[in-house]
Chain A
């Protein structure tokens, strides 16, 4: 599976990402960096510890990275999560994080199994 097929599998608009980042190699490099970071694990820990001030910043940073990568369905969930954290809405933040994590895991699984190991 190449980068284009990876994005097609996610039902994301590969052409608009390529339009912004110009080369598939660059997109691949950025995806590698993103999936090798532990920002999602850190965010989970911060939400569990109810450390919303820090979690808010982590969510903001994650949102930036995900939007650069053009994974819009994750951007949409993390934007809502960021708002919940800003408003100190613990229960909603937990629910939204769970949705975010499930979607992230699904994408991560596609990336590692279908792209990296092919």
Chain B
């Protein structure tokens, strides 16, 4: 189930390649995406690579390459069956309209702007999440389906992901960031130190009692609201099941 996002940057300016590459790294810093960036100083090797493997999901393509316009290069890609996303980079909006002809997904104007870059990336990656949490370790990568996460517990600088198979994965990050990344209704932040998967909750008293009888704490001050959210989630789930049947 590996899902590595292959990204190419084609720009004759090494400075601009550095900028885009750095922005990509920064953008993905707190996201569970695996990605690989390849830089091209001209279009020739990129054209060869695309003809050979068609592997890129996203290409950042400079409009004013030394000997050819990026638009013309994109036309070649499309004619050859390339169906990945193309984002143009240019100091001028002269080719913005023409970029629609090659089904461009974005047109980033220089001078570079990080917020605009991020908004293009957000758009490109919509729907690409696979309900899978990717954990990068020093020498390996683990893929954890949301379905198998029972709850996540934070302690000082680390978070422990408790899974339904009994495994506990430890990662060094903040629970806030994980919560933001999971962004799925089944996960409820019930305590400063806990994010619970409601599908594994057996019942609720002062704490959540999980299917394996473990306890997940609930913030005392918010217990009323948490109960409400839990009940709403359950009633929605039951309704969904009834509709499916």
CB of B22 within 8 A of CB of A20, answer no
Complex Cα distance A34/B16, Å?
Answer: 10
Q: Is the CB of A65 within 8 A of B26?
A: no
A residues in contact with B111, CB < 8 Å: 20, 64, 67-68, 70
Nearest chain A residue, comparing its CB with the CB of B114 = A22
Q: Are A64 and B22 in contact (CB under 8 A)?
A: no
Give the size range of A's interface with the partner. 20 to 34
In contact, A65 and B15 (Cβ under 8 angstroms): yes
In the bound assembly, the distance between CA atoms of A88 and B89 in angstroms comes to 27
Contacts of B119 in A (CB 8 A): none
A-B pair number, CB within 8 angstroms: 53
Q: Contacts A26-B26, A60-B64 given: A65-B115 contact, CB under 8 Å?
A: no
* B12 at the binding interface (Cβ < 8 Å): yes
One digit per residue, 1 when the CB lies within 8 angstroms of any chain A CB and 0 when it does not, for chain B 98-124 equals 000000000000111111000000000
The reply to whether A61 and B113 form a contact with Cβ atoms under 8 Å apart is no
**How far is it, in angstroms, between the C-alpha of A95 and the C-alpha of B60 when the chains are bound?**
36
| A57 at interface, CB cutoff 8 A | yes
Chain B, interface size category, equals 10 to 19
* Residue of chain B at shortest CB distance from A29: B22
Task: Looking at the assembled complex, report how far the CB atom of B70 sits from the nearest CB atom of chain A, in whole angstroms.
Answer: 13
B112 and A63 contact, CB distance less than 8 A? no
Query: Given A64-B91, A67-B91, A68-B19, are A20 and B114 neighbors across the interface (CB < 8 Å)?
Result: yes
Residue of B nearest to A67 (CB): B111
User: Which residue of the partner chain A has the closest CB to B22?
Assistant: A29
Contacts A26-B114, A68-B110 known; A37 to B66 CB distance under 8 Å?
A: no
Q: Are A33 and B110 in contact (CB under 8 A)?
A: no
* A22 proximity list for chain B (CB < 8 A): 114-115
Interface residues of A in 27-67 (CB under 8 A from B): 29-30, 33-34, 37, 39, 57, 60-61, 63-65, 67
Interface 1/0s, chain A 1-44, versus B by CB < 8 A? Answer: 00000000000000000001111001001100110010100000
Known contacts A37-B15, A61-B15: A20-B112 contact under CB 8 Å: yes
Q: Which residues of B sit under 8 angstroms from A30, Cβ to Cβ?
A: 15, 18-19, 22
Answer whether residue B14 sits at the interface, using C-beta atoms and an 8 A cutoff. Answer: yes
Q: Which residues of A contact B (CB under 8 A)?
A: 20-23, 26, 29-30, 33-34, 37, 39, 57, 60-61, 63-65, 67-68, 70
